[in-house]
Amino acid sequence: MELLAAPDWLSTVPGWFENPIVVGSLRIVGLIAAAFVLTRLLRRLVTKVEGKVSADSTPIRALQRTQTITKVLSSAGVVVIWSLALFQTLSELGFQLGPLLAGIGIVGLAVGFGAQNLVRDVISGFFILFEDQYGVGDVIEVNEVATGKVEQLTLRITGMRDLDGTLHFVANGGITHVANRSKDWARAVVDVSVPYREDPAHVREVLERVAREAKDDHELGRNLYSCPEVLGVETLGDIDITWRMIADTKPGRQFEIGRKLRERVKITFDEEGIESPTPQPLVVAGPTQDGA
C-alpha cells in the first residue's frame, strides 16, 4: 500500500522548529502567556461581580461580604493558576516533579503545624462571611463573654465595640458561640411595674393605647415592623405586678425603641394617675420599759 505524500507546506517549516530546546522554550512561553491571560480573565470576572453587587445592593454589609469572598477566591485562583504553570514549566525544563512535590509537601506540613491557629482563624472567617453569620454593623455576643457592635471583620479577626467604647478583637478561630442581636429583625422587650391596687383592665387599656400611638408616630413608627403587643402580666412580685410589652423593630434599633416606649409609658401613666409601686414601711412595735 502506497503511503500518502507529505504536504508541500511542511517543507517550508524552518529546521530550527525541530530543535527540542526551541520547542521547549516555546511551550514555556505559551504556559506563561496562558497563565497571564487566565489571571487577567479571573480578575476581570471578580471586578464584574463586585460591580454588579455594588449596583444592585446598597447595604454595606452585603457589599463587604461579597468583596471579601471574591478577593479570597481571586487570590486562590491566581495561586492555583501560577502553581500549575510553574510545575509545567519545571517539567519542560527536565526537573523531576516527584521529589519536588514530596519536598513541598513536607514543608507545607511543617508550616501547617506551625501556623495551624492562623489557618483555623482564616477558615473560620471565610465561613463566617460565606454563611453570613454576622457582618459589620451587627450587634453580637461572642462566647457569652464579650458583646458589642461589629466594626471590623476580616478573615482572621472580628473587632467589636461595646457600650463603654472598648474595642474587642477576637480571633475567628476561637469563636464557638455567636448571638446575633440584629439579624434580619430585632425585638424590644419592655417590662412595666404597677402597684397591686391598679385595675388590670385599665392598665392594659393604657398600655395598648401607648402601643398604637407609638406605631402611628412618624419618627418612632418607621422603625417598627408592627404595632407593639401587650402580652399581659409577666410576674407577681411582693409589692408590684409586672406587665410585659414587646415590639418587633428594625435590626439594631431594639434598645432605642425600648427606651422610647418606657418614656411614653411613664408620661401616659402620669396622665392617667397610675403610680409607681413604692415599698410600704413595716413598723414593729415592741414592749416599752413599763411593759406597755
Q: What CATH number does residue 206 fall under? A: 3.30.70.100
pLDDT reported for residue 3: 44
Q: Kindly state whether residues 174 and 193 are assigned to the same domain.
A: no
Q: What CATH number does residue 108 fall under? A: 1.10.287
- Domain membership flag for residue 150: yes
Q: Kindly state whether residues 198 and 268 are assigned to the same domain.
A: yes
Give the structural domain span for 228.
186-272
Q: What CATH number does residue 153 fall under? A: 2.30.30.60
- Domain membership flag for residue 263: yes
Q: Model confidence over 39-59: pLDDT tens digits?
A: 888 778 777 766 665 555 445
Q: Kindly state whether residues 165 and 228 are assigned to the same domain.
A: no
- pLDDT value at 75 more than 50: yes
Rounded Cα distance between 154 and 229, Å, is 39
Amino acid at 48: K
Read off the pLDDT of each residue in 236-243 and give the average, rounded to a whole number. 90
Question: Please, which pLDDT band fits residue 62 given cuts at 50, 70 and 90?
Answer: low
Q: Kindly state whether residues 25 and 88 are assigned to the same domain.
A: yes
- Domain membership flag for residue 292: no
- Domain membership flag for residue 126: no
The number of folded domains in the chain is: 3
- The SS3 assignment for 143 reads coil
- Domain membership flag for residue 192: yes
- pLDDT value at 207 more than 70: yes
- The SS3 assignment for 282 reads coil
Q: Model confidence over 133-157: pLDDT tens digits?
A: 888 888 899 988 888 988 888 888 8
pLDDT reported for residue 260: 93
Burial class of residue 138, CB neighbours in 10 A (0-12, 13-18, 19+) = buried
- Domain membership flag for residue 39: yes
- Domain membership flag for residue 1: no
Q: Kindly state whether residues 44 and 103 are assigned to the same domain.
A: yes
Residue with cell 471583620: 153
Rounded Cα distance between 91 and 151, Å, is 48
